Structure 1
Amino acid sequence: MPSTLIHQTVGDLLDRATRAFVDRDAIVHGEERLTFGAFGDAVRRAGLVFGSLGLAPSDRVAILSADRTDLLVAFYGTLAAGFAVSPLNARMSEEDHLWIVGDSGAKVLIHDGAFTERAGRIAAETGARLVSLDDDGPDGFQALLAAQPAEGVAGSPEPGDLAAIFYTGGTTGRPKGVEHSQQSLVMSFLSEALEMGLYDRTVFAHAAPLTHSSGMFCVPVWMRGGTNVILGGFDPAQMLAAIERDRITSMLVVPTMLYVLLDHPDFATRDLSSLQTVIYGAAPMGRERLLQAIDRLGPIFVQLYGQTEAPNQICALTAADHADAIARGDLDVLSSCGRPVTIADVRVVDDEGGEVPVGERGEIICRGPHVMTSYWNKPEQTAETLIDGWLHTGDIATVDARGFLRIVDRKKDMLISGGFNVYPKEVETCLFQHPHVRDACVIGVPDEKWGEAVKAIVVTDGEVEPAELIAWVKERKGSVMAPKTVDLVDAIPLTAVGKHDKPSLRKQYAAAATA
């Protein structure tokens, strides 16, 4: 794709919005409200803060914080000024946070008070400059913002400049950095505004982490003059109350969240009539639960399919697709991930790169102006994934005559639990570190709540119980990585070449889960 496809940067989009809607609320977090004008000034000052700390264009700023207004100020202050942001998933382990800050070469680590001690240890090993969102002293974020001049900007990035390094799990046990330019982020934002059912004056509720997919919807909302409402995590009662109180029009959920909302007693009593769009993705959605939600809320659902390498935008199953499927009785469409978004060329190909016939399995590949530049410092993995400009997703799918794609398997072993990617290799490596574990195999099994649940099949010396192994992983890799169940066995079945026979294990446990 030519670099001249679009000339705007993220800062250009923000500048337009903050000037056009100066008096409207850009962000709401509890009792805190920040207008577009105030947000635009804070973003500009944040860029000046990072410049005053000695950062050069494309230098990295890492952010480790729970969801809050200041996180968005730091995030977009970084991008608008031409530095590169590297957000840290707060649910990751300290080991992974240390790796990301060191691997990215981040010169500044923004953190909130909950991570003060961890940030200090990371800074001691990496040399990153610490800036606390909760420090009231002269080196705290608010004081640094206030010290900046009333006018002036820190930098003026170009569309092709490095804007972000988003880290995603790796099969080697280490997260890998996905590089995005200013242009690729802008194109993702524009595509989301076009494809995801966002309207003028959208009021978007964020329950999923802003450092994850949810945060990618902030700019499309602001482009429409809308308001981003930060909920600070997922609590079903709080979310349902917020929909009624703040007249929420749009939100992003993973299937697990929707299931919990459907089962909550407040779901039947709260006024949810303001909802216009419910976006879901990141994990398979149970058809019956989706039909329940449509029966209650109407055909207002949009499914997204994307990857960190092509943020949120490879395919979309639109609200009209949902409505048409129900009207025609063609409910199989609801099991698809939709059709390619406008900006993406998408194919389903065989191992030789040829497009497969309708109904046959192949790998999804994608190209477009929103696709990553490369993997940070990983030329070999980049060459394996980006081939002749096409992103090879590793997802296996079929395509029907109307262009709907159905993901049926994954080329790699990655599974998705509660909307988060889990790489079995990382969990297995952690389990193998336990002194009483002799062999371990990790797979995903169907689960009504989580979409896929992490299951570990483990051989031990008889001196450890499943609960201890679950706690072992949770302590070292976080709750997302921790197995939901552990089965202790005498031996793990192997393939003819001596590898764990994961296909047969998945089949066995999937049958047990649905029996």
Structure 2
Amino acid sequence: MNLGRYLRRTAGHQPDAEAVVCGRVRLTYAELDDHSDRLAAALCDLGLSRGERVATLADNRAELVITEMALYKAGLTRAPINSRLGVSEVAHLLAETDARVLLTESEHLGTARTAVPGTGVETVIGYDGPSDLGPGYAETLAGTERRPVDVDCDENGAAVLHFTSGSTGKLKAAVQTYGNRLALMRKSVMSADTRVGPGDRQILAGPVTHASGMPLMGIFFAGGCALVLPRWDAEEFLAAIEHERATHAFVVPTMVNTVLALPGARDYDLSTLRRLVYGAAPMSPARIRAAWDLFGPVLAQGYGCGETTSGVLFLSTEDHRRALEGEDEELLLSCGRPLAEAEVAVVDDRGEPVPDGEVGEIAVRGPDVVPRYHNEPELTARTFRDGWFLTGDLARRRADGYVFIVDRKKDMIVSGGFNIYAVEVEAALHQHPGVHEAAVVGVPDDQWGEAVKAVVVPRDGAALTEPGLIAFCAEHLARMKKPRSVDFVTALPHNPNGKIDRRAIRDRYWAGAGRLVN
């Protein structure tokens, strides 16, 4: 098998159709196929063979997309490094992956210059031109004669080392195989909600090296166009929908929040948008209603992670409509039902399914679930059991298959013997019109062991008070679940993937405590 064959086929069918737009760069399918062939050939000429690792360190740019396609064609393993990581983390990942080649850009040359020594990196290719570290990308392509590269790959071979942080903050790599990536492509085109075909144009708003890049192969298989934003900016996102006539978009809830906060959001023509998929974190019912009002009846939600190679649960646009029109309002709290080939169960600590309505851990199996973590046998043994991946997310299942997440195992607060789920309290806080963003953590308490603490970013101009917010939550939650204290801040910490970093928030309150709760 070789995933690059699907790009080559689409390029033969519609060579002049746009495949990638990023900033000022616009590539047709013929150009994407040509450039990726040249880069694949150049990497093979460096002596790289099937399964060897190639790392990237760059912000969103068209060359990252070309690189991904080239690595598929050459049968190489991609090791994407988040461009927000520090020098020591980059050095660790380069050594951990045994990468022989690094492709980077001028903004990150300083990091590369410090991180590369002592690793196995032999060649550094600069996307913006030659440097003291190695040759330039354009020069490398120009100096390589184009030839179709089609290395036969084993479906169990590693295609991507997808790095993600765990509850300890340690970076770990889910080994996404070529079979996993093929399953991802299949599920991307199996549903009308996610298929991006000829004439369709999907905005990828986050880092394409991670979750936002997951749809790429499905887009190229079906013949659509990937609109890659160089960086996140709410106004540029809306302008891209209008000017590029975008039909689809993938965002995280934090991005939706920034769009909703824009005074001029309704000044843009968003009429071409048919599907806005959000995921990677929960979004409160109040925010969903506001987004539906702004964007129209186009919302859908996906639930998944690096270990499941993108989404495995999906809440469709029709599900959103039913909820928002009062037919089944509870669906606004759901992350959907199983998508495509994935099997999803809610299990107890022994791995046995719990009865519908009871809380357990989400477990997933199927062709899109990775087989292991890279160089982490103990973590692999704890997390993958009898073919099932244990997500760490606590949830309940409804009789008709809809799944409702209540919290992460590590974020559950035990106060006075009661289990309190941070997500549930955050959902109540987000119903208050004066709350822009909120995080809930457990903090040390002599009487209760842990007490519920809300850390809140107010909306501009909102006059929030601690007693007022606590009283508001008491109207929407059981008395034991309401926050016992509220801190107001100007911003919450986020991890490199844009999610609220609860661990960083919690650590501030537990510093110096004799007992840690995680």
Indicate which of 118, 121, 126 corresponds to 1:125.
118
1:166 aligns to what?
162
**Count of aligned pairs:** 452
Give yes or no for the alignment of 1:50 onto 2:43: yes
- Structure 2 CA distance, aligned partners of 1:305 and 1:73? 27
Cα distance change on mapping 1:450 and 1:84 into 2, 3 Å: farther
1:11 aligns with 2:4: yes
Aligned mate of 1:344, from 331, 342, 366: 342
The TM-score normalised by the length of structure 2 is 0.80
**Letter matched to residue 135 of structure 1:** G
**1:134 aligned residue (107, 128, 136):** 128
In the TM superposition, what whole-angstrom CA distance separates every residue of 1:242-287 from its partner, at most 9, and x where no partner exists?
A: 1111101111111111111122123111110000000001111011
- Separation in 2, partners of 1:414, 1:450: 23
Partner of 2:290: 292
- Contact 1:396 / 1:409 at 8 angstroms: preserved in 2? yes
Structure 2 residue identity aligned to 1:301? L
Counterparts of 1:152 and 1:329, CA distance in 2 = 54
Counterpart in 2 of 1:189?
185
Query: CA–CA distance in 1 between the matches of 2:228 and 2:284?
Result: 27
2:194 partner letter: G
Give the CA deviation at 1:483. Answer: 8.1
With the length of structure 1 as denominator, give the TM-score of the two structures.
Answer: 0.81
Report the equivalent of 2:280: 282
The residue that corresponds to 2:470 in the other structure is none
Q: 1:490 to 1:407 in 2, by over 3 A?
A: closer
Deviations 1:111-142 (A, max 9, x none): 01100011111111213121111114782111
Which residue of structure 2 aligns with residue 144 of structure 1? 140
- 1:189 maps to a residue whose letter is M
Paired residues of 1:91 and 1:479 also in contact (CA < 8 A): no
Identity of aligned residues (%): 32
Partner of 1:253: 251
Structure 1's 328 and 95: CA in aligned 2 closer, same or farther, altered over 3 A?
Answer: same
| Alpha-carbon spacing, 1:152–1:282, altered in 2? closer, same or farther (3 Å) | closer
1:237 maps to: 235
Structure 1 runs (4+) deviating above 6 angstroms are 454-458, 476-480, 482-494
- 1:305/1:479 CA distance change after superposition, 3 Å: closer
Matched-pair contact (CA < 8 Å) for 2:81–2:209: yes
Residue number in structure 2 paired with 1:218: 216
Q: CA deviation at 1:194?
A: 2.3
Distance in 2, Cα, partners of 1:98 & 1:355: 42
Q: How does 1:110-121 map to 2 (within 5 A)?
A: 110-121=103-114
> Whole-Å Cα distance in 1 between the matches of residues 176 and 509 of structure 2?
44
Q: Which amino acid aligns with 2:210?
A: H
Is 1:500 aligned with 2:500?
A: no
Tell me the alpha carbon deviations over residues 391-436 of structure 1, each in whole angstroms, 9 at most, x when there is no partner: 1111110001111101112123599xxxxxxxxxxxxxxxxxxxxx
Cα distance change, pair 364–191 in 1 and its aligned pair in 2 (3 A): same
**Partner SS state of residue 279, structure 1:** strand
Choose 51-60 or 276-285, whichever is displaced more. 51-60
SS in 2 for 1:374: coil
The equivalent of 1:22 in structure 2 is 15
Rounded Cα–Cα distance in structure 2 between residues aligned with 1:167 and 1:207: 19
CA contact (8 A) 1:255 1:450 kept: no
1:165 and 1:178 in contact (8 A); partners too: yes
Task: After superposition, give the CA deviation of every residue in 1:166-193 in whole Å (9 maximum; x if it has no partner).
Answer: 1111344431111111111111122122
3-state SS in 2 of match to 1:375: coil
C-alpha separation in 2, matches of 1:330 and 1:168: 35
Which of 306, 310, 321 is residue 308 of structure 2 equivalent to? 310
Which residue identity lines up with residue 55 of structure 2 in the other structure?
A: A
- 1:267 aligned partner: 265
Residue 320 of structure 1: how far off its partner (Å): 1.3
Aligned to 1:91: 84
Which whole-Å CA distance do the structure 2 matches of 1:247 and 1:478 have between them?
27
1:286-435 to 2 correspondences below 5 Å = 286-413=284-411
Counterparts in 2 of 1:390 and 1:326: CA distance versus 1, 3 Å: same
Distance 1:491 1:184, change over 3 A: closer
Which position in structure 2 is the counterpart of 1:421?
none
**Paired residue secondary structure (2:309):** strand
Cα separation, partners in 2 of 1:400 and 1:451, compared to 1, 3 Å: farther
The root-mean-square deviation of aligned C-alpha atoms, in Å, is: 3.0
Distance 1:346 1:317 in 2: 14
Inter-CA distance 116–450: structure 2 relative to 1 (3 Å threshold) = farther
For residues 266 and 181 of structure 1, the distance between their equivalents in structure 2, rounded to whole angstroms, comes to: 44
Distance 1:400 1:18, change over 3 A: same
- The code of the aligned residue for 2:35 comes to A
The CA distance in 2 between the partners of 1:231 and 1:107, in whole Å, is 29
* Separation of aligned partners in 1, 2:163 and 2:261: 33
Partners of 2:396 and 2:257 in 1: CA distance: 27
Unaligned runs of 5+ in 1: 1-7, 416-442, 459-469, 503-515
Amino acid at match of 1:338: G
Secondary structure of 1:126 counterpart? coil
Note if contact 1:104-1:177 (Cα within 8 Å) is conserved in structure 2. Answer: no
Indicate which of 72, 76, 84 corresponds to 1:79: 72
Instruction: Name 1:66's counterpart in structure 2.
Output: 59
In structure 2, distance between residues paired with 1:157 and 1:204: 28
Q: Which amino acid aligns with 1:184?
A: N
The runs of 5 or more residues in structure 2 that have no matched partner are 414-421, 445-488
Alpha-carbon distance change, 127 to 363 in structure 1, aligned in 2, over 3 angstroms: same
Alpha-carbon distance between aligned partners in 1 of 2:202 and 2:72, rounded to the nearest angstrom: 21
- 2:128 corresponds to which letter in structure 1? D
Secondary structure of residue in 2 paired with 1:187: helix
Deviation at 1:35, TM superposition (A): 0.4
For 1:511, the equivalent position in structure 2 comes to none
Question: What's the CA shift for 1:299?
Answer: 2.1
Which deviates more from structure 2 when the two are superposed, residues 242-251 or residues 153-162? 153-162
- Point out which structure has higher relative CO (alpha carbons under 8 A, 6+ apart): 1
Contact 1:203 1:229 (8 Å CA) reproduced: yes
Q: Is the alpha carbon distance of 1:315 and 1:142 closer, same or farther for their aligned partners in structure 2, counting shifts above 3 Å?
A: same
1:33 aligns with 2:26: yes
Shift of 1:326: 2.6
In the TM superposition, residue 325 of structure 1 has moved relative to its aligned partner by: 2.1
1:454 Cα shift? Answer: 8.6
**Greater Cα shift, 68-77 or 91-100:** 91-100
How far apart are residue 30 of structure 1 and its match? 2.4
Aligned 8 A contact 2:206 2:232 in 1? yes
Residues 343-398 of structure 1 show CA distances to partners (whole Å, capped at 9, x for unaligned) of 10111111122211111011111111011121111112111111111111111100
